[in-house]
Structure 1
Amino acid sequence: MAGGYDDRDGKIWLDGTLVPWRDAKVHILTHAMHYASSVFEGERAYGGKIFKSVAHSERLKRSAELIDFQVPWTVEQIEEAKYATMKANGLSDAYVRAIAWRGAGEDMGVASARNPVRLAVAAWEWGAYYGDAKMKGAKLDISKWKRPSPETIPCHAKAAGLYMICTMSKHAAEAKGCSDAMMFDYRGYVAEATGANIFFVKDGEVHTPLPDCFLNGLTRQTVVQMLKEKGITVHERHIMPEELEGFEQCWLTGTAAEVTPVGQIGDYTFEVGALARDISDSYEKLVRA
Protein backbone atom coordinates (compact mmCIF):
# COMPACT_ATOMS: atom_id res chain seq x y z
CA MET A 1 0.00 0.00 0.00
CA ALA A 2 1.45 3.34 -1.06
CA GLY A 3 0.51 7.00 -1.16
CA GLY A 4 -0.87 9.35 1.46
CA TYR A 5 -2.99 7.86 4.19
CA ASP A 6 -6.03 9.64 2.78
CA ASP A 7 -5.58 8.30 -0.74
CA ARG A 8 -5.40 4.52 -0.75
CA ASP A 9 -7.35 1.54 -1.95
CA GLY A 10 -9.08 -0.67 0.59
CA LYS A 11 -11.74 -0.45 3.27
CA ILE A 12 -12.04 1.25 6.65
CA TRP A 13 -14.60 0.23 9.27
CA LEU A 14 -16.54 3.37 10.24
CA ASP A 15 -19.41 3.33 12.75
CA GLY A 16 -20.42 -0.23 11.91
CA THR A 17 -19.92 -0.20 8.14
CA LEU A 18 -16.97 -1.00 5.90
CA VAL A 19 -16.57 1.99 3.60
CA PRO A 20 -14.12 2.71 0.76
CA TRP A 21 -10.85 4.02 2.21
CA ARG A 22 -11.14 7.43 0.52
CA ASP A 23 -14.69 7.91 1.81
CA ALA A 24 -13.82 7.50 5.51
CA LYS A 25 -14.23 11.18 6.39
CA VAL A 26 -15.42 13.42 9.23
CA HIS A 27 -16.82 16.96 9.29
CA ILE A 28 -14.49 19.92 9.80
CA LEU A 29 -16.38 20.77 13.04
CA THR A 30 -15.73 17.37 14.58
CA HIS A 31 -15.12 18.01 18.27
CA ALA A 32 -12.00 15.82 18.42
CA MET A 33 -10.30 17.93 15.77
CA HIS A 34 -10.72 21.07 17.85
CA TYR A 35 -10.41 19.77 21.41
CA ALA A 36 -8.54 16.43 21.12
CA SER A 37 -11.44 14.39 22.48
CA SER A 38 -10.25 11.10 21.02
CA VAL A 39 -8.54 7.89 22.10
CA PHE A 40 -6.87 5.23 20.01
CA GLU A 41 -5.03 1.93 19.92
CA GLY A 42 -2.12 0.75 17.81
CA GLU A 43 -1.97 -3.02 17.36
CA ARG A 44 -0.03 -5.51 15.25
CA ALA A 45 -1.35 -8.65 13.64
CA TYR A 46 0.91 -11.56 12.82
CA GLY A 47 -0.33 -14.43 10.69
CA GLY A 48 -3.91 -13.21 10.92
CA LYS A 49 -3.95 -12.88 14.71
CA ILE A 50 -3.81 -9.52 16.48
CA PHE A 51 -1.43 -9.71 19.44
CA LYS A 52 -3.25 -9.06 22.73
CA SER A 53 -6.23 -7.85 20.73
CA VAL A 54 -8.80 -8.04 23.52
CA ALA A 55 -6.51 -6.19 25.92
CA HIS A 56 -6.21 -3.40 23.37
CA SER A 57 -9.98 -3.20 22.90
CA GLU A 58 -10.48 -3.10 26.65
CA ARG A 59 -7.94 -0.31 26.98
CA LEU A 60 -9.64 1.69 24.23
CA LYS A 61 -12.86 1.72 26.22
CA ARG A 62 -11.01 2.46 29.46
CA SER A 63 -9.12 5.36 27.85
CA ALA A 64 -12.40 6.85 26.68
CA GLU A 65 -13.80 6.66 30.19
CA LEU A 66 -10.71 8.41 31.52
CA ILE A 67 -11.35 11.38 29.23
CA ASP A 68 -15.06 11.36 30.05
CA PHE A 69 -16.90 9.54 27.30
CA GLN A 70 -18.20 6.06 26.62
CA VAL A 71 -17.46 4.02 23.51
CA PRO A 72 -20.92 2.73 22.49
CA TRP A 73 -19.58 -0.58 21.19
CA THR A 74 -18.72 -3.62 23.28
CA VAL A 75 -15.28 -5.20 23.37
CA GLU A 76 -16.71 -8.08 21.33
CA GLN A 77 -18.02 -5.68 18.68
CA ILE A 78 -14.67 -3.88 18.50
CA GLU A 79 -12.96 -7.25 18.06
CA GLU A 80 -15.31 -8.14 15.21
CA ALA A 81 -14.64 -4.77 13.59
CA LYS A 82 -10.87 -5.21 13.69
CA TYR A 83 -10.90 -8.65 12.13
CA ALA A 84 -13.51 -7.61 9.55
CA THR A 85 -11.24 -4.72 8.54
CA MET A 86 -8.25 -7.00 8.11
CA LYS A 87 -10.29 -9.46 6.07
CA ALA A 88 -11.73 -6.72 3.85
CA ASN A 89 -8.20 -5.54 3.06
CA GLY A 90 -6.75 -9.02 2.58
CA LEU A 91 -4.25 -8.58 5.41
CA SER A 92 -2.71 -11.17 7.71
CA ASP A 93 0.35 -9.23 8.89
CA ALA A 94 -0.78 -5.69 9.62
CA TYR A 95 -0.82 -2.66 11.83
CA VAL A 96 -4.34 -2.06 13.15
CA ARG A 97 -5.53 1.36 14.31
CA ALA A 98 -8.80 1.66 16.26
CA ILE A 99 -9.88 5.17 17.17
CA ALA A 100 -12.89 6.55 19.05
CA TRP A 101 -13.79 10.24 19.19
CA ARG A 102 -16.43 12.83 19.86
CA GLY A 103 -17.86 13.79 16.51
CA ALA A 104 -19.73 16.81 15.19
CA GLY A 105 -23.06 17.49 16.89
CA GLU A 106 -25.00 20.04 18.86
CA ASP A 107 -21.99 21.22 20.87
CA MET A 108 -19.06 23.18 19.47
CA GLY A 109 -17.37 24.52 22.56
CA VAL A 110 -15.20 22.85 25.15
CA ALA A 111 -18.21 20.89 26.42
CA SER A 112 -19.43 18.19 24.06
CA ALA A 113 -21.73 15.88 26.02
CA ARG A 114 -24.44 16.00 23.33
CA ASN A 115 -22.14 15.05 20.45
CA PRO A 116 -22.12 11.46 19.16
CA VAL A 117 -19.17 9.20 19.88
CA ARG A 118 -17.79 7.60 16.74
CA LEU A 119 -15.50 4.64 16.12
CA ALA A 120 -13.28 3.65 13.22
CA VAL A 121 -10.81 0.86 12.49
CA ALA A 122 -8.14 0.94 9.78
CA ALA A 123 -5.42 -1.59 8.97
CA TRP A 124 -2.38 -1.47 6.71
CA GLU A 125 0.98 -3.08 6.13
CA TRP A 126 3.71 -1.44 8.19
CA GLY A 127 7.30 -2.55 8.52
CA ALA A 128 9.87 -1.80 11.22
CA TYR A 129 9.03 1.47 13.00
CA TYR A 130 12.69 2.46 13.38
CA GLY A 131 13.99 1.05 10.11
CA ASP A 132 17.29 -0.82 10.53
CA ALA A 133 17.66 0.15 14.20
CA LYS A 134 17.00 -3.45 15.27
CA MET A 135 20.47 -4.30 13.99
CA LYS A 136 22.57 -1.26 14.93
CA GLY A 137 20.47 0.42 17.62
CA ALA A 138 18.30 3.51 17.42
CA LYS A 139 19.72 6.97 18.03
CA LEU A 140 17.68 9.10 20.43
CA ASP A 141 17.67 12.79 21.19
CA ILE A 142 16.74 14.06 24.68
CA SER A 143 13.53 16.07 24.54
CA LYS A 144 13.12 19.48 26.12
CA TRP A 145 9.49 18.55 26.90
CA LYS A 146 8.57 16.55 29.97
CA ARG A 147 5.79 14.09 30.69
CA PRO A 148 3.29 16.02 32.84
CA SER A 149 2.06 15.34 36.35
CA PRO A 150 -0.94 12.99 36.74
CA GLU A 151 -2.63 15.95 38.40
CA THR A 152 -2.67 17.77 35.04
CA ILE A 153 -3.61 15.02 32.55
CA PRO A 154 -5.25 11.55 32.53
CA CYS A 155 -1.81 10.02 32.00
CA HIS A 156 -2.98 6.40 31.77
CA ALA A 157 -5.31 7.07 28.83
CA LYS A 158 -4.04 6.47 25.32
CA ALA A 159 -5.51 9.80 24.29
CA ALA A 160 -4.59 11.81 21.21
CA GLY A 161 -4.08 15.09 23.06
CA LEU A 162 -1.32 13.63 25.21
CA TYR A 163 0.84 13.07 22.11
CA MET A 164 1.22 16.73 21.15
CA ILE A 165 4.56 17.12 22.95
CA CYS A 166 5.60 13.72 21.59
CA THR A 167 5.12 14.91 18.02
CA MET A 168 7.08 18.07 18.77
CA SER A 169 9.85 16.07 20.42
CA LYS A 170 10.12 13.59 17.57
CA HIS A 171 10.23 16.34 14.95
CA ALA A 172 13.10 18.01 16.84
CA ALA A 173 14.89 14.66 17.10
CA GLU A 174 14.52 13.89 13.40
CA ALA A 175 15.90 17.33 12.55
CA LYS A 176 19.07 16.25 14.40
CA GLY A 177 19.31 12.95 12.55
CA CYS A 178 17.84 10.88 15.38
CA SER A 179 15.08 8.27 15.23
CA ASP A 180 13.24 9.44 18.33
CA ALA A 181 13.57 11.31 21.61
CA MET A 182 13.69 10.21 25.22
CA MET A 183 11.60 12.25 27.63
CA PHE A 184 12.00 12.98 31.33
CA ASP A 185 8.97 13.39 33.55
CA TYR A 186 7.86 16.48 35.47
CA ARG A 187 10.11 15.48 38.41
CA GLY A 188 13.19 15.00 36.24
CA TYR A 189 13.15 11.18 36.20
CA VAL A 190 13.67 9.19 32.99
CA ALA A 191 10.21 8.47 31.55
CA GLU A 192 9.89 7.06 28.01
CA ALA A 193 10.37 7.76 24.32
CA THR A 194 7.69 9.59 22.32
CA GLY A 195 5.73 6.43 21.59
CA ALA A 196 7.55 3.64 23.37
CA ASN A 197 8.63 2.57 26.84
CA ILE A 198 12.31 2.24 27.69
CA PHE A 199 14.50 -0.39 29.38
CA PHE A 200 18.14 -0.40 30.52
CA VAL A 201 20.61 -3.14 31.46
CA LYS A 202 23.34 -3.01 34.08
CA ASP A 203 25.29 -5.99 35.46
CA GLY A 204 22.83 -8.46 33.99
CA GLU A 205 19.77 -6.84 35.59
CA VAL A 206 17.10 -4.75 33.91
CA HIS A 207 15.91 -1.33 35.02
CA THR A 208 12.82 0.38 33.62
CA PRO A 209 11.02 3.56 34.70
CA LEU A 210 8.02 3.17 36.97
CA PRO A 211 4.96 4.08 34.84
CA ASP A 212 3.33 6.36 37.37
CA CYS A 213 2.87 9.33 35.02
CA PHE A 214 2.86 7.73 31.57
CA LEU A 215 1.28 4.79 29.77
CA ASN A 216 2.18 1.33 31.02
CA GLY A 217 2.35 -0.16 27.54
CA LEU A 218 1.03 -3.63 26.78
CA THR A 219 4.32 -4.48 25.09
CA ARG A 220 6.16 -3.19 28.16
CA GLN A 221 4.09 -5.47 30.39
CA THR A 222 4.74 -8.40 28.06
CA VAL A 223 8.50 -7.83 28.07
CA VAL A 224 8.65 -7.44 31.87
CA GLN A 225 6.91 -10.80 32.21
CA MET A 226 9.20 -12.43 29.63
CA LEU A 227 12.30 -11.20 31.47
CA LYS A 228 11.03 -12.54 34.79
CA GLU A 229 10.28 -15.90 33.19
CA LYS A 230 13.88 -15.97 31.98
CA GLY A 231 15.03 -15.47 35.58
CA ILE A 232 16.26 -11.93 35.00
CA THR A 233 15.80 -9.41 37.79
CA VAL A 234 13.67 -6.45 36.73
CA HIS A 235 13.70 -3.19 38.71
CA GLU A 236 10.67 -0.97 38.01
CA ARG A 237 11.72 2.28 39.64
CA HIS A 238 12.48 5.96 39.28
CA ILE A 239 15.66 6.44 37.25
CA MET A 240 17.77 9.60 37.56
CA PRO A 241 19.38 11.20 34.47
CA GLU A 242 22.90 10.73 35.86
CA GLU A 243 22.36 6.96 35.86
CA LEU A 244 22.31 6.84 32.06
CA GLU A 245 26.10 6.86 31.97
CA GLY A 246 26.30 3.59 33.88
CA PHE A 247 23.86 1.53 31.81
CA GLU A 248 25.32 -0.95 29.32
CA GLN A 249 22.35 -1.75 27.08
CA CYS A 250 19.03 -0.11 26.26
CA TRP A 251 15.92 -0.91 24.25
CA LEU A 252 12.47 0.46 23.49
CA THR A 253 9.18 -1.42 23.57
CA GLY A 254 5.86 -0.64 21.93
CA THR A 255 3.38 -2.10 19.49
CA ALA A 256 4.92 -0.16 16.61
CA ALA A 257 8.50 -0.36 17.93
CA GLU A 258 8.14 -4.00 19.07
CA VAL A 259 11.52 -4.45 20.83
CA THR A 260 14.11 -2.10 19.34
CA PRO A 261 17.66 -1.79 20.72
CA VAL A 262 19.03 1.71 21.37
CA GLY A 263 22.63 2.59 20.55
CA GLN A 264 22.69 6.21 21.69
CA ILE A 265 20.72 8.70 23.79
CA GLY A 266 22.15 12.19 23.56
CA ASP A 267 25.84 11.81 24.47
CA TYR A 268 25.34 8.40 26.09
CA THR A 269 26.13 5.23 24.11
CA PHE A 270 24.94 1.68 24.62
CA GLU A 271 25.95 -1.72 23.33
CA VAL A 272 23.44 -3.64 21.24
CA GLY A 273 24.20 -6.57 23.51
CA ALA A 274 23.17 -10.16 23.99
CA LEU A 275 20.22 -9.47 26.30
CA ALA A 276 18.75 -6.80 24.01
CA ARG A 277 19.03 -9.16 21.04
CA ASP A 278 17.66 -12.09 23.01
CA ILE A 279 14.57 -10.28 24.25
CA SER A 280 13.95 -8.87 20.77
CA ASP A 281 14.15 -12.35 19.24
CA SER A 282 12.03 -13.86 22.01
CA TYR A 283 9.35 -11.22 21.52
CA GLU A 284 9.24 -11.88 17.78
CA LYS A 285 8.77 -15.58 18.42
CA LEU A 286 6.05 -14.94 20.99
CA VAL A 287 3.91 -12.70 18.80
CA ARG A 288 4.18 -15.11 15.89
CA ALA A 289 3.48 -18.23 17.93
Structure 2
Amino acid sequence: MAGYDDRDGFIWMDGELVNWRDAKVHFLTHALHYASAVFEGERCYNGKIFKSTEHSERLIRSGKLLDMDIPYTVEQINAAKAEVIKANGLTDCYIRAIAFRGAGEEMGVAALGNPVRLGIAVWSWGAYYGDAKFKGAKLDISKWKRPSPETIPSEAKAAGLYMICTMSKHAAMAKGCSDAMMYDYRGYVAEATGANIFFVKDGEVHTPKADCFLNGITRQTVIGMLKDMNITVHERHILPEEVEGFEQCWLTGTAAEVTPVGEIGPWRFEVGELTKRVATEYEKLVRA
Protein backbone atom coordinates (compact mmCIF):
# COMPACT_ATOMS: atom_id res chain seq x y z
CA MET A 1 0.00 0.00 0.00
CA ALA A 2 0.97 3.63 -0.36
CA GLY A 3 2.55 5.49 2.55
CA TYR A 4 0.22 6.73 5.25
CA ASP A 5 0.54 10.28 3.93
CA ASP A 6 -0.45 9.38 0.36
CA ARG A 7 -3.76 7.54 0.22
CA ASP A 8 -7.25 8.06 -1.06
CA GLY A 9 -10.06 8.62 1.42
CA PHE A 10 -10.98 10.97 4.23
CA ILE A 11 -9.74 11.87 7.69
CA TRP A 12 -11.89 13.60 10.29
CA MET A 13 -10.17 16.71 11.66
CA ASP A 14 -11.59 19.24 14.11
CA GLY A 15 -15.20 18.58 13.20
CA GLU A 16 -15.06 18.00 9.46
CA LEU A 17 -13.98 15.45 6.89
CA VAL A 18 -10.96 16.42 4.83
CA ASN A 19 -9.26 14.64 1.95
CA TRP A 20 -6.65 12.20 3.27
CA ARG A 21 -3.70 13.99 1.64
CA ASP A 22 -4.84 17.37 3.00
CA ALA A 23 -4.92 16.27 6.66
CA LYS A 24 -1.87 18.28 7.70
CA VAL A 25 -0.63 20.29 10.68
CA HIS A 26 1.82 23.16 11.01
CA PHE A 27 5.53 22.60 11.61
CA LEU A 28 5.25 24.44 14.94
CA THR A 29 2.51 22.19 16.26
CA HIS A 30 3.26 21.88 19.96
CA ALA A 31 2.77 18.08 19.99
CA LEU A 32 5.53 17.61 17.42
CA HIS A 33 8.05 19.32 19.67
CA TYR A 34 6.86 18.39 23.17
CA ALA A 35 4.75 15.22 22.73
CA SER A 36 1.58 16.91 24.00
CA ALA A 37 -0.68 14.28 22.45
CA VAL A 38 -2.91 11.42 23.54
CA PHE A 39 -4.43 8.79 21.31
CA GLU A 40 -6.59 5.70 21.00
CA GLY A 41 -6.31 2.60 18.85
CA GLU A 42 -9.61 0.83 18.15
CA ARG A 43 -10.99 -1.81 15.82
CA CYS A 44 -14.26 -1.96 13.95
CA TYR A 45 -15.69 -5.42 13.24
CA ASN A 46 -18.63 -5.94 10.89
CA GLY A 47 -19.42 -2.23 11.03
CA LYS A 48 -19.35 -1.97 14.84
CA ILE A 49 -16.51 -0.41 16.84
CA PHE A 50 -15.56 -2.67 19.74
CA LYS A 51 -15.96 -0.78 23.04
CA SER A 52 -16.11 2.58 21.28
CA THR A 53 -17.42 4.45 24.31
CA GLU A 54 -14.73 3.05 26.63
CA HIS A 55 -12.05 4.21 24.21
CA SER A 56 -13.56 7.69 23.87
CA GLU A 57 -13.82 8.00 27.63
CA ARG A 58 -10.18 7.01 28.05
CA LEU A 59 -9.12 9.52 25.39
CA ILE A 60 -10.74 12.31 27.39
CA ARG A 61 -9.20 11.06 30.66
CA SER A 62 -5.77 10.85 29.04
CA GLY A 63 -6.13 14.43 27.84
CA LYS A 64 -6.96 15.66 31.33
CA LEU A 65 -3.87 13.90 32.70
CA LEU A 66 -1.82 16.00 30.25
CA ASP A 67 -3.71 19.22 31.15
CA MET A 68 -5.58 19.10 27.84
CA ASP A 69 -9.33 19.49 27.83
CA ILE A 70 -10.48 17.86 24.60
CA PRO A 71 -13.27 20.09 23.19
CA TYR A 72 -15.60 17.20 22.31
CA THR A 73 -17.88 14.95 24.32
CA VAL A 74 -17.77 11.16 24.32
CA GLU A 75 -20.92 11.15 22.19
CA GLN A 76 -19.39 13.54 19.65
CA ILE A 77 -16.20 11.49 19.42
CA ASN A 78 -18.21 8.29 18.93
CA ALA A 79 -20.23 9.95 16.18
CA ALA A 80 -17.08 11.26 14.48
CA LYS A 81 -15.56 7.78 14.40
CA ALA A 82 -18.70 6.37 12.83
CA GLU A 83 -18.78 9.22 10.31
CA VAL A 84 -15.24 8.72 9.07
CA ILE A 85 -15.65 4.94 8.83
CA LYS A 86 -18.75 5.43 6.68
CA ALA A 87 -17.03 8.08 4.53
CA ASN A 88 -14.24 5.62 3.75
CA GLY A 89 -16.63 2.79 2.97
CA LEU A 90 -15.18 0.40 5.55
CA THR A 91 -16.76 -2.19 7.82
CA ASP A 92 -13.65 -3.89 9.27
CA CYS A 93 -10.87 -1.45 10.08
CA TYR A 94 -8.50 0.10 12.59
CA ILE A 95 -9.32 3.51 14.06
CA ARG A 96 -6.73 6.01 15.28
CA ALA A 97 -8.05 9.01 17.21
CA ILE A 98 -5.48 11.54 18.39
CA ALA A 99 -5.90 14.73 20.41
CA PHE A 100 -2.98 17.15 20.50
CA ARG A 101 -1.88 20.71 21.22
CA GLY A 102 -1.63 22.48 17.93
CA ALA A 103 0.27 25.57 16.81
CA GLY A 104 -0.86 28.76 18.48
CA GLU A 105 0.21 31.69 20.61
CA GLU A 106 2.99 29.89 22.46
CA MET A 107 6.00 27.81 21.44
CA GLY A 108 7.68 26.68 24.63
CA VAL A 109 7.23 23.91 27.13
CA ALA A 110 4.07 25.61 28.42
CA ALA A 111 1.36 26.16 25.83
CA LEU A 112 -1.97 26.50 27.61
CA GLY A 113 -3.08 29.07 25.07
CA ASN A 114 -2.67 26.74 22.10
CA PRO A 115 -5.76 24.98 20.73
CA VAL A 116 -6.38 21.32 21.51
CA ARG A 117 -7.16 19.58 18.23
CA LEU A 118 -8.65 16.20 17.41
CA GLY A 119 -8.18 14.00 14.37
CA ILE A 120 -9.49 10.54 13.49
CA ALA A 121 -8.17 8.28 10.73
CA VAL A 122 -9.31 4.78 9.75
CA TRP A 123 -7.78 2.13 7.53
CA SER A 124 -7.86 -1.60 6.81
CA TRP A 125 -5.32 -3.40 8.97
CA GLY A 126 -4.83 -7.12 9.38
CA ALA A 127 -3.04 -9.05 12.11
CA TYR A 128 -0.58 -6.75 13.93
CA TYR A 129 2.01 -9.51 14.33
CA GLY A 130 1.33 -11.23 10.99
CA ASP A 131 1.47 -15.03 11.09
CA ALA A 132 2.66 -14.89 14.72
CA LYS A 133 -1.03 -14.77 15.58
CA PHE A 134 -1.14 -18.46 14.69
CA LYS A 135 2.32 -19.88 15.40
CA GLY A 136 3.42 -17.68 18.30
CA ALA A 137 5.38 -14.44 18.40
CA LYS A 138 9.08 -14.23 19.17
CA LEU A 139 9.94 -11.55 21.73
CA ASP A 140 13.20 -9.90 22.66
CA ILE A 141 13.81 -8.51 26.16
CA SER A 142 14.09 -4.72 26.14
CA LYS A 143 16.90 -2.87 27.85
CA TRP A 144 14.41 -0.07 28.58
CA LYS A 145 12.06 -0.23 31.57
CA ARG A 146 8.57 1.12 32.15
CA PRO A 147 9.07 4.15 34.41
CA SER A 148 7.65 4.82 37.84
CA PRO A 149 4.18 6.47 37.91
CA GLU A 150 5.88 9.19 39.93
CA THR A 151 7.77 10.21 36.78
CA ILE A 152 5.10 9.85 34.08
CA PRO A 153 1.28 9.84 33.86
CA SER A 154 1.23 6.06 33.36
CA GLU A 155 -2.58 5.89 33.23
CA ALA A 156 -2.62 8.05 30.09
CA LYS A 157 -2.32 6.67 26.59
CA ALA A 158 0.09 9.46 25.74
CA ALA A 159 2.35 9.71 22.71
CA GLY A 160 5.52 10.54 24.64
CA LEU A 161 5.33 7.37 26.71
CA TYR A 162 5.89 5.29 23.58
CA MET A 163 9.36 6.64 22.79
CA ILE A 164 11.12 3.78 24.59
CA CYS A 165 8.61 1.36 23.09
CA THR A 166 9.61 2.38 19.57
CA MET A 167 13.28 2.02 20.45
CA SER A 168 12.66 -1.38 22.05
CA LYS A 169 10.72 -2.68 19.07
CA HIS A 170 13.35 -1.46 16.61
CA ALA A 171 16.03 -3.33 18.57
CA ALA A 172 13.83 -6.46 18.67
CA MET A 173 13.16 -6.38 14.93
CA ALA A 174 16.89 -6.12 14.27
CA LYS A 175 17.19 -9.49 16.05
CA GLY A 176 14.41 -11.08 14.02
CA CYS A 177 11.80 -10.71 16.76
CA SER A 178 8.23 -9.44 16.51
CA ASP A 179 8.36 -7.35 19.68
CA ALA A 180 10.03 -6.96 23.05
CA MET A 181 8.97 -7.66 26.61
CA MET A 182 9.71 -4.83 29.02
CA TYR A 183 10.39 -4.92 32.74
CA ASP A 184 9.24 -2.10 35.00
CA TYR A 185 11.38 0.25 37.06
CA ARG A 186 11.42 -2.27 39.95
CA GLY A 187 12.51 -5.17 37.74
CA TYR A 188 9.14 -6.91 37.51
CA VAL A 189 7.71 -8.17 34.20
CA ALA A 190 5.56 -5.35 32.77
CA GLU A 191 4.30 -5.66 29.17
CA ALA A 192 5.31 -5.69 25.52
CA THR A 193 5.84 -2.41 23.64
CA GLY A 194 2.19 -1.99 22.73
CA ALA A 195 0.40 -4.93 24.31
CA ASN A 196 -0.23 -6.44 27.74
CA ILE A 197 1.08 -9.92 28.59
CA PHE A 198 -0.42 -13.06 30.13
CA PHE A 199 1.11 -16.35 31.27
CA VAL A 200 -0.34 -19.78 32.04
CA LYS A 201 0.82 -22.29 34.66
CA ASP A 202 -1.08 -25.36 35.87
CA GLY A 203 -4.31 -24.15 34.28
CA GLU A 204 -4.23 -20.74 35.99
CA VAL A 205 -3.42 -17.37 34.43
CA HIS A 206 -0.88 -14.86 35.72
CA THR A 207 -0.60 -11.30 34.43
CA PRO A 208 1.45 -8.34 35.68
CA LYS A 209 -0.31 -5.90 37.97
CA ALA A 210 -1.05 -2.74 35.96
CA ASP A 211 0.31 -0.26 38.48
CA CYS A 212 2.89 1.48 36.28
CA PHE A 213 1.65 0.82 32.74
CA LEU A 214 -1.60 1.15 30.83
CA ASN A 215 -4.38 -1.15 32.00
CA GLY A 216 -5.49 -2.00 28.48
CA ILE A 217 -9.14 -2.23 27.50
CA THR A 218 -8.41 -5.54 25.77
CA ARG A 219 -6.56 -6.71 28.90
CA GLN A 220 -9.60 -5.94 31.03
CA THR A 221 -11.87 -7.66 28.50
CA VAL A 222 -9.77 -10.84 28.49
CA ILE A 223 -9.59 -10.95 32.29
CA GLY A 224 -13.38 -10.73 32.37
CA MET A 225 -13.63 -13.53 29.79
CA LEU A 226 -11.31 -15.76 31.80
CA LYS A 227 -13.32 -15.26 34.98
CA ASP A 228 -16.51 -16.10 33.07
CA MET A 229 -14.74 -19.30 31.98
CA ASN A 230 -13.99 -20.05 35.67
CA ILE A 231 -10.26 -19.69 35.06
CA THR A 232 -8.33 -18.35 38.04
CA VAL A 233 -6.54 -15.08 37.20
CA HIS A 234 -3.69 -13.72 39.31
CA GLU A 235 -2.94 -10.01 38.76
CA ARG A 236 0.36 -9.67 40.54
CA HIS A 237 4.01 -8.68 40.37
CA ILE A 238 5.95 -11.27 38.37
CA LEU A 239 9.71 -11.70 38.77
CA PRO A 240 11.87 -12.48 35.71
CA GLU A 241 13.00 -15.79 37.21
CA GLU A 242 9.37 -16.98 37.25
CA VAL A 243 8.99 -16.74 33.47
CA GLU A 244 10.88 -20.00 32.87
CA GLY A 245 8.19 -21.91 34.77
CA PHE A 246 5.24 -20.70 32.69
CA GLU A 247 3.82 -23.03 30.04
CA GLN A 248 1.90 -20.65 27.77
CA CYS A 249 1.97 -16.94 27.02
CA TRP A 250 -0.07 -14.47 24.99
CA LEU A 251 -0.33 -10.77 24.31
CA THR A 252 -3.46 -8.61 24.28
CA GLY A 253 -4.23 -5.25 22.73
CA THR A 254 -6.54 -3.61 20.24
CA ALA A 255 -3.98 -4.06 17.46
CA ALA A 256 -2.57 -7.35 18.79
CA GLU A 257 -6.02 -8.74 19.69
CA VAL A 258 -5.00 -12.07 21.34
CA THR A 259 -1.62 -13.18 19.97
CA PRO A 260 0.19 -16.27 21.30
CA VAL A 261 3.87 -16.00 22.22
CA GLY A 262 6.25 -18.82 21.35
CA GLU A 263 9.41 -17.45 22.91
CA ILE A 264 10.79 -14.59 24.98
CA GLY A 265 14.57 -14.37 25.04
CA PRO A 266 15.77 -17.80 26.31
CA TRP A 267 12.30 -19.01 27.33
CA ARG A 268 9.94 -21.13 25.20
CA PHE A 269 6.16 -21.56 25.42
CA GLU A 270 3.63 -23.83 23.76
CA VAL A 271 0.67 -22.41 21.87
CA GLY A 272 -1.61 -24.37 24.18
CA GLU A 273 -5.31 -25.07 24.36
CA LEU A 274 -6.12 -22.25 26.78
CA THR A 275 -4.33 -19.72 24.59
CA LYS A 276 -6.23 -20.96 21.54
CA ARG A 277 -9.51 -20.92 23.44
CA VAL A 278 -9.04 -17.35 24.64
CA ALA A 279 -8.14 -16.21 21.11
CA THR A 280 -11.21 -17.94 19.68
CA GLU A 281 -13.58 -16.60 22.33
CA TYR A 282 -12.21 -13.09 21.91
CA GLU A 283 -12.78 -13.27 18.16
CA LYS A 284 -16.38 -14.36 18.78
CA LEU A 285 -16.92 -11.54 21.28
CA VAL A 286 -15.70 -8.70 19.09
CA ARG A 287 -17.80 -9.93 16.17
CA ALA A 288 -20.94 -10.63 18.19
Normalised by the size of structure 1, how large is the TM-score? 0.99
CA–CA distance in structure 2, aligned partners of residues 23 and 206 of structure 1 = 47
The DSSP-based 3-state class of the residue aligned with 1:79 is helix
* Superposition deviation, residue 212 in structure 1: 0.1
Q: Which residue of 2 aligns with 1:214?
A: 213
User: How far apart in 1 are the matches of 2:81 and 2:251?
Assistant: 26
| Residue in structure 1 matched with residue 49 of structure 2 by the alignment | 50
Structure 1 runs of 4+ off > 4 angstroms?
none
Measured in 1, the distance between the counterparts of 2:34 and 2:28 equals: 10
The aligned counterpart of 1:125 is 124
- Partner Cα separation in structure 2 for residue 266 and residue 166 of structure 1: 17
- For residues 20-50 of structure 1, the C-alpha deviation after alignment (integer angstroms, 9 at most, x for no partner) is 0000000000000000000000000000000
1:26 is paired with a residue of what secondary structure?
Answer: coil
Deviations 1:46-81 (A, max 9, x none): 000000000000000000001111000011110110
Q: How far apart are 1:135 and its partner, in Å?
A: 1.4
- 1:135 maps to a residue whose letter is F
- 5 Å matches for 1:74-89? 74-89=73-88
Counterpart amino acid of residue 109 in structure 1: G
| 2:252 paired residue number | 253
Distance 2:133 2:211 in 1: 28
Unaligned 5+ segments in structure 1 are none
In structure 2, how many angstroms separate the alpha carbons of the residues matched to 1:135 and 1:156? 31
Residue 125 of structure 1 aligns with an amino acid whose one-letter code is S
SS of corresponding position for 1:181: strand
Superposed displacement of residue 126, structure 1: 0.0
CA distance in 1, matches of 2:267, 2:13: 45
Q: For 2:160, what is the secondary structure of its paired residue?
A: helix
Query: Offset at 1:198?
Result: 0.1
**Matched position secondary structure for 2:108:** coil
| Distance in 1 separating the partners of 2:145 and 2:180 | 11
Give the structure 1 partner of residue 136 of structure 2. 137
Counterpart amino acid of residue 104 in structure 1: A
Post-superposition offset of 1:221: 0.1
SS of the residue 1:182 aligns to: strand
Count matched residues.
288
Deviation at residue 286 of structure 1 after TM alignment: 0.3
User: Cα offset for 1:191?
Assistant: 0.1
* Counterpart mapping for 1:4-15 below 5 A: 4-15=3-14
In structure 2, distance between residues paired with 1:107 and 1:64: 19
Aligned to 2:18: 19
Question: Root-mean-square deviation (CA), in Å?
Answer: 0.3
Whole-Å separation in 1 of the counterparts to 2:134 and 2:89: 30
Partner of 1:243: 242
1:187 is aligned to 186
In 2, the alpha carbon distance for the partners of 1:35 and 1:234 equals 39
Query: Which whole-Å CA distance do the structure 1 matches of 2:274 and 2:17 have between them?
Result: 43
Name the amino acid aligned to 2:203. Answer: G
Displacement of 1:255: 0.0
Match of 1:33 in 2: 32
1:65-80 equivalent positions in 2, closer than 5 A: 65-80=64-79
**How far does the alpha carbon of each residue in 1:210-243 deviate from its partner, in whole angstroms, 9 at most, with x for none?**
0000000000000000000000000000000000
Query: What secondary structure does 2:57 align onto?
Result: helix
Q: Distance in 1 between matches of 2:134 and 2:217?
A: 23
1:205 aligned residue:
204
Partner of 2:228: 229
* Unaligned segments of structure 2, at least 5 residues: none
Quick one: which amino acid aligns to residue 8 of structure 1? Answer: R
1:109 matched to 2:127? The reply is: no
- Aligned-partner residue type, residue 264 of structure 2: I
Structure 1: how far apart are the matches of 2:119 and 2:256?
Answer: 23
Aligned mates of 1:126, 1:68 — CA distance in 2: 32
